[in-house]
Amino acid sequence: MQSATSANLGLNSNAVKVLEKRYLRRDREGRVTEAPLDMFQRVARTIARADLLYDRPLEEVQELEKRFFDLISSCDFLPNSPTLMNAGRRLGQLSACFVLPVEDSMDSIFDAVKNAAMIHKSGGGTGFSFSRLRPSGDVVGSTKGISSGPISFMTVFDAATETIKQGGTRRGANMGILRVDHPDILEFVTAKDNNARLNNFNISVALTEDFMRAVEADAEYDIRNPHDGTVTRRLGARKVFDLIVEHAWTNGEPGIIFIDRINAGNPTPSVGEIESTNPCGEQPLLPYESCNLGSINLARMVTGGAVDWEKLKRVTREAVHFLDNVIDVNRYPLPKIEETTKSNRKIGLGVMGWADMLIQLQIPYNSEEALKLAEKVMGLIQTEGQLASESLAEARGDFPNHSRSVFAGQRRMRNATITTIAPTGTLSIIAGCSSGVEPLFAVSFVRNVLEGTKMVEVNPYFERMAKEKGFWSRELIEKIADQGTIHDFTEIPEDVKSIFMTAHDITPLDHIRMQAAFQKRTDNAVSKTVNFPYSATVEDVEEVYLQAYHLGCKGVTVYRDGSRDQQVLSTGATGRSEKGEPTVDSVGRITPKERPEVMHGVTRIMKTGCGNLYVTINEDEEGNPFEVFTQMGKAGGCAASQAEAIGRLVSMAFRSNISVSEIVKQLKGISCHNKGWGPGGPVLSCSDAIATAIERFVTDKRRAGTLEVGEETDSMAGHGACPECGGAVEHEGGCAVCRSCGFTRCA
């Protein structure tokens, strides 16, 4: 094995930090017991040994182990997180994504709940289609009772996921899908209007070709009862489409998938119909299938300012071999999943570091040249991947369902699918590259490195170019970190601005065009977020959805900047009475509004690491938060005095008409050394507890109908600040990841 050390693996400090926190082996006391080098050796050794199953000599397997080690330790390629975490360890579950069937019976529904719990316990995420469940109000033949419908059963899955998540394992994540022609489709689209439920689900609507044609013709389409196939009514397609678009504009959900297009690419149609995808939407799977994903780091496929096509070919072939071996050494959570997965042997080879590749080649992300290169790069990966799978089939045999596949009689194949472009949030942190096929998250940003300590991070390519062109300064980088983008800095040359484009420098239509370019040469689907500015209109989202359909995408995920975290606590108050308003003096200084003699409010107990914190929030006559008082369960001490000080300052901000959402944003996610745990999850500090108490106060007011506020979400559902470190959260393919500590809301 290689004689490398962690220092010369090329991992930056943030990569090592994320590995130590989330990937490396620990003892019973929670102490890290392996270095990154050890992890790469463990994974390479475990995956290479699958070749022994095919009578490869031990010397050849040992040589393969060295090649696999070079492949992953260089970060030329990385498999999905469960493989890095679990290969060579007791759990041994290496897959990230699963799909489970939900048939229209109580036995099937609760079997799926149980099986999902087993998958979440093992570190995987699950996708479900609820389209086979009879609608709410339908008569159940066996009991003559009334069906409660798909949404009610989804809440059961959601609760089970929450229980497993709170048990201290990796976060469970679900995809819930409903066909657009299901009778409960309107309730499904609006299911997250109340975000007290389904917080462990991404939801997507499966759009059919018939529906999309009806949308464009402004016609009606059939709604069918899945129990017997009868047409129950007809709905205006445009009305339903507008509702989907409006909710996606509001908070990013539901997403959409084009289910007929997905099944047109189903490699084994006679085996079964695809009804669902994994939680982030890029991997359509049959019931009981799992898929093993991995990503090539395109940032490392550039040599001397040009794409190193030979290296890309070599890495692609090695990666296909690696992923096929994962299928054999994997320990599956259910026998049926092992059987189905090995029958089709699907793998999903994708990419990360795409933005970094373009920067090195000095190609603007939103250019025609970039779109052409995307097709060429992914085309080579798909072609070489198929050739590698064909070679493996010659040596090991075709996948068992080959005779029932679209390849039958045409070519040998070891794997039913080869390519998928998945989110690479934490993987890209380890590799030190940009995520997936997304543009840069930011040119510069602030990273929390220790409790209360922040460090400004800057894109290394930008730093190098800024120094070469003579406009580098630490002051400039700190200013950029405040904005993320360099678009408005006059001291930066225009040609540099065109190369270092961030997600919000690029139009939504350019986002979807890039997704479509990669989709043309991808077997499965492409995970990508179409970013919108906060000022985007509902019509802007509609245009992207229609363009995605016309350009051949298999699904769309959108995110309007600030839509979720702004909505969390937006009071919606468009005007207040002049009585008791704050006053402004001649130089613009605010004097907070006066306190009435009598006020009403609520007190909530927050369980912090320093003991119970009692947070009292009083409201003004219009029901808006006016002041905060705190009392520690343990009298006195530093924590009590700090909590009191925070309460006083928050009260001052309330009485000065500072936005409630902005106040919470400043307090939420601040972490101290002594964390607690409450009913809603971890309580990171007293300030975090106060912020959560304010969130819940406003949510309760909204539910009572006494205040027009937006959706209740936790800090990650709002996608504002990371709940673990308070860092910035990046959106990708229906998921969110903190580039500071590696926290992700997806399994």
> Strand 611-619 to strand 600-608: parallel, antiparallel, or no bridges (unpaired)?
antiparallel
271: nearest Cα among 286, 290, 289: 286
Catalytic one among 174, 195, 251, 278? 278
CA distances from 621 to 581, 654, 707 (A): 12, 13, 11
Q: Are 182 and 226 in contact (CB under 8 A)?
A: yes
282 is catalytic: yes
| 740: helix, strand or coil | coil
DSSP class of residue 621? T
Amino acid identity, position 161: T
CA distances from 707 to 20, 599, 696 (A): 45, 17, 13
Q: 306 — phi, psi (to 5°)?
A: -140, 155
Amino acid identity, position 235: L
Q: Which residues contact 396 (CB under 8 A, 6 or more apart)?
A: 54, 324, 414
Q: Are 135 and 103 in contact (CB under 8 A)?
A: no
Phi-psi bin for 349: left (phi > 0), alpha (psi -120 to 50), beta? beta
142: nearest Cα among 150, 154, 134: 134
Q: Are 457 and 559 in contact (CB under 8 A)?
A: no
| 475: helix, strand or coil | helix
- Show the 3-state SS of 502-560: ECCCCCHHHHHHHHHHHHCCCCCCECCEEEECCCCCHHHHHHHHHHHHHHCCCEEEEEE
251: nearest Cα among 198, 180, 181, 182: 198
Cis peptide before 254 (omega within 30 of 0): yes
Amino acid identity, position 642: Q
Number of alpha carbons in the 13 Å side-chain half-sphere of residue 312: 24
CA distances from 434 to 9, 57, 362, 426 (A): 18, 39, 15, 10
CA 217 – CA 534 distance, rounded (Å):
30
Catalytic one among 275, 282, 627, 712? 282
Catalytic one among 200, 202, 266, 280? 280
The number of residues making up the chain comes to 747
Neighbours of 596 (CB within 10 A): 12
CA distances from 156 to 183, 237, 689 (A): 20, 30, 28
Q: Are 277 and 555 in contact (CB under 8 A)?
A: yes
Q: Are 471 and 464 in contact (CB under 8 A)?
A: no
CA 456 – CA 443 distance, rounded (Å):
11
Q: 28 — phi, psi (to 5°)?
A: -65, -25
263 is catalytic: no
- Show the 3-state SS of 337-385: HHHHHHHHCCEEEEEECHHHHHHHHCCCCCCHHHHHHHHHHHHHHHHHH
686 is catalytic: no
Which residues are designated catalytic? Answer: 278, 280, 282
